[in-house]
Amino acid sequence: MVAITAAIQRGHAGDRAGARDELERLWGQTGDALHRVTIAHFVADLQESVADELSWDERALAVVAELTDERAQQYDKSFQVRAFKPSLHLNLADAHRRLGHVSEAWHHVALAQADIDLLPDDDYGRLVRTGMEKIRRALEEGSIEPLVP
């Protein structure tokens, strides 16, 4: 996780290509579900195309199915795998929306909504809930433009 976090910070500092390359290298070196879901979740945001972003978002969702609460809680006692899913589904919803796949986008919004009650009332929970509202609004408006932070 130290190497993954360092690569993510590299991306936040502006070296998107370097961070993407490092995360993809780490993806190939680990079979650990917690590491892989984290990598896929963050490397998706570093892609140059929405189609590539969607592909990584799909990987993250597929890998989370392999992750157990027990493994996640080895890293952080508060982690629940079901609580990861709203964010993963919202990423998929947003990528589908930007690609014009409206029904798929709404499908993932509904799946995110199913588990959103598990999110804490903290900065992370508020971020995901705000993201859901932005995606809903963009879908209702028929927008395929990237969301404004």
pLDDT for residue 23: 98
State the pLDDT confidence band at 148, using cuts at 50, 70 and 90.
Answer: confident
pLDDT for residue 37: 97
Residue-wise pLDDT tens digits, 105-141: 999 999 999 999 989 899 999 999 999 999 999 999 9
pLDDT for residue 97: 98
pLDDT for residue 65: 96
Are 23 and 7 contacting, i.e. CB atoms less than 8 angstroms apart?
yes
Integer Cα distance of 12 and 8 in angstroms:
6
66: pLDDT strictly greater than 80: yes
The answer to whether the Cα torsion of 144, 48, 17, 62 is positive or negative is: positive
Integer Cα distance of 61 and 18 in angstroms:
24
Q: DSSP character for 99? A: T
Please compute Rg for the chain using Cα positions.
15
| Dihedral angle, C-alpha 46, 50, 52, 54, nearest 10 ° | 100
Integer Cα distance of 146 and 149 in angstroms:
9
Residue-wise pLDDT tens digits, 13-53: 999 999 999 999 999 999 999 999 999 999 999 999 999 99
Integer Cα distance of 125 and 59 in angstroms:
22
pTM over 0.85: yes
State the pLDDT confidence band at 149, using cuts at 50, 70 and 90.
Answer: confident
Integer Cα distance of 23 and 40 in angstroms:
8
